[in-house]
Amino acid sequence: MMNENESKKYDCSRGCVVERDATGEVNCTYRQGCCKLEVYDWLAGVSQEQYKDYFEVRFKNTRKGIYRNESGQSIKTGDFVIVEAANGHDLGVVTLEGAVVARQMKCKKINPENFEFKKIYRKAKLFDMEKWQDAIAREHEVMIRSRQIAAELGLKMKIGDVEFQGDGTKAIFYYIADGRVDFRQLIKVFAEEFRIRIEMKQIGARQEAGLIGGLGVCGRELCCSNYISSFQSITTSAARCQDLSLNPQKLAGQCGKLKCCLNYETAAYMDAQSRIPKVSNPLEFEDGLAYLMKTDILKEVMYFSYDPTSLANLFPLDASDVREIIKMNRNGIKPESLKSDPEPYVPEFVTAVGDDSITRFDEARKKKKKRKPENRSGNDRRKGGNGKGRGDRRRDDAPKKQSEKKE
């Protein structure tokens, strides 16, 4: 008898659960939130008649598209459908329907009036699912063998993933290469080896990370596999604008390139920096010169100190106040002092958790109690004043035992 865990398979690359019943028949169900580039249907229940026949169909990993229903069947989210392909047909799962599909068209700049949508032929049947699962079972083996063939031919490329079409007659090979690769001979060898039609598709390092997936240093799912579909160029100027350390190991993501999240707050930092004055010389006060030590860009606060070599006593000033002091210094006017504030700013240590103290383990450690010295005089009085305690008796008995052994 087949175990329940053995009969159930979670295919996260396609967002579905595959089960086999007691008779061996395949039953596939859509698992929402399990696939990459997932879109939440926040317009569920909102009907728009002009978009009722448009659906988003998902395939493996990040490949998906918008199709038009011309089957005449009632289709809803979670249905497995047979769709039009360049050669033959493909099988995918419907992930979006209704008004939210119209929003996706707008994001992808698709005009439904002049765009040629591919068709949804019908719902998938049992023999379609069987053929689809047989093709999926070949993907890993074909990927390993294709890498061996590429290495034998001496091609400088890396095959990252293989995706079979739903009817099993075609396979897409996703590869990464630094330069242009002549894979004409490779396609011939693949066609003879695997007996299928071959399509080679070049992807970048960021797209490969999206296909593989994983977790970032923030603890969340990678942005490239979660929602980013178009990648923008990222430079170190984005990190420099945010006063981040220019350490390549900290700025690089799992793809080896600069993290996409560096661009998220760049516009906010640039806007805040436009309101912060540039301080090239120390500010002049009556009691001395004040040196700029650091700047909080988002709060628009600048910290000054009379000692340029120490961060112990820092005095915060708003960017607007610093601008006024610079104008006063240019006119030969010196303000009284930075020490007018009651207390200088002292940097505080904040733990990552926020509640735990860095010395919490030291405080929990109990101090060992010191052993109190024995009051020999008191013992002597209690024992009749012989002047010998336990330690003295042991020392007196030791030479007696040694003498007995010698005899």
What confidence tier does 358 reach under pLDDT thresholds 50, 70, 90?
Answer: low
pLDDT at residue 171, as a whole number = 92
57 contact partners, CB below 8 Å, separation of at least 6: 64, 65, 66, 67, 81, 83, 92, 93, 94, 95, 120
Over residues 64-74, the mean pLDDT reads 88
- The mean pLDDT of the chain is 80
Burial string for 211-221 (b: 16+ CB within 10 Å, else e) reads bbbeebeeeee
If DSSP states are collapsed to H, E and C, what string results for 95-141?
EEECHHHHHHHHHCCCCCCCCCCEEEEEECCHHHHHHHHHHHHHHHH
**More reliable by pLDDT, 340 or 377:** 340
Residues forming a β-bridge with 199: 172
pLDDT at residue 2, as a whole number = 42
Name residue 188's amino acid.
K
Judged by phi (left if over 0) then psi (alpha if -120 to 50, else beta), residue 299 lies in alpha
Q: What are 241's two structure tokens?
A: 């604008």
Q: Look at residue 318 and tell me whether its pLDDT is greater than 60.
A: yes
What confidence tier does 146 reach under pLDDT thresholds 50, 70, 90?
Answer: very high
For 283, counting Cβ atoms within 10 Å of its Cβ (0-12 exposed, 13-18 middle, 19+ buried), the class is buried
What confidence tier does 39 reach under pLDDT thresholds 50, 70, 90?
Answer: confident
pLDDT at residue 405, as a whole number = 46
Burial string for 94-127 (b: 16+ CB within 10 Å, else e) reads bbbbbbbbbeebeeeebeeeeeebbebbbebeee
Burial string for 173-207 (b: 16+ CB within 10 Å, else e) reads bbbeeeeebebeebeebbeeebebbbeeeebebbb
Residues forming a β-bridge with 90: 83
State the pairing for strand pair 158-164/54-58: unpaired
Q: Look at residue 6 and tell me whether its pLDDT is greater than 60.
A: no
H or E stretch at 170? strand 170-176
Q: What is the pLDDT of residues 71-125, one digit of tens each?
A: 888 888 888 999 999 888 999 999 888 888 888 888 888 888 888 899 999 999 8
The predicted model scores a pTM of 0.67
Q: Look at residue 230 and tell me whether its pLDDT is greater than 60.
A: yes
Torsion of CA 323, 329, 332, 336, to 10 degrees: 100
Name residue 24's amino acid.
G
Portion of the chain with pLDDT greater than 90, in percent: 13
pLDDT at residue 172, as a whole number = 92
Domains of the chain: 4-124 (no CATH), 131-208 (3.30.300.20), 275-380 (no CATH)
Give the C-alpha separation, 330 to 358, whole Å: 46
300 contact partners, CB below 8 Å, separation of at least 6: 272, 275, 276, 318, 319, 320
Over residues 304-320, the mean pLDDT reads 86
Q: Which residue has the tokens 């034998």?
A: 152
Q: What is the pLDDT of residues 154-179, one digit of tens each?
A: 888 889 889 999 888 999 999 988 88
pLDDT at residue 57, as a whole number = 92
Give the C-alpha separation, 326 to 178, whole Å: 52
Q: Look at residue 401 and tell me whether its pLDDT is greater than 50.
A: no
Q: What is the pLDDT of residues 257-296, one digit of tens each?
A: 889 888 888 889 999 888 989 888 888 888 888 899 888 8
Q: Look at residue 397 and tell me whether its pLDDT is greater than 90.
A: no
The candidate with the shortest Cα–Cα distance to 58, out of 42, 77, 72, is 77
Residue 303 main-chain phi, psi, to 5 deg: -110, 130
pLDDT at residue 374, as a whole number = 56
Portion of the chain with pLDDT greater than 70, in percent: 81
The candidate with the shortest Cα–Cα distance to 317, out of 293, 350, 348, is 293
pLDDT at residue 407, as a whole number = 45
Over residues 56-69, the mean pLDDT reads 89
**More reliable by pLDDT, 68 or 24:** 68
Least confident of 63-72, 150-159, 366-375: 366-375
Determine the 3-state secondary structure of 87 from DSSP.
Answer: coil
| Terminal Cα distance for the chain, rounded | 85
What confidence tier does 334 reach under pLDDT thresholds 50, 70, 90?
Answer: confident
pLDDT at residue 25, as a whole number = 78
What confidence tier does 149 reach under pLDDT thresholds 50, 70, 90?
Answer: very high
Q: Look at residue 144 and tell me whether its pLDDT is greater than 90.
A: yes
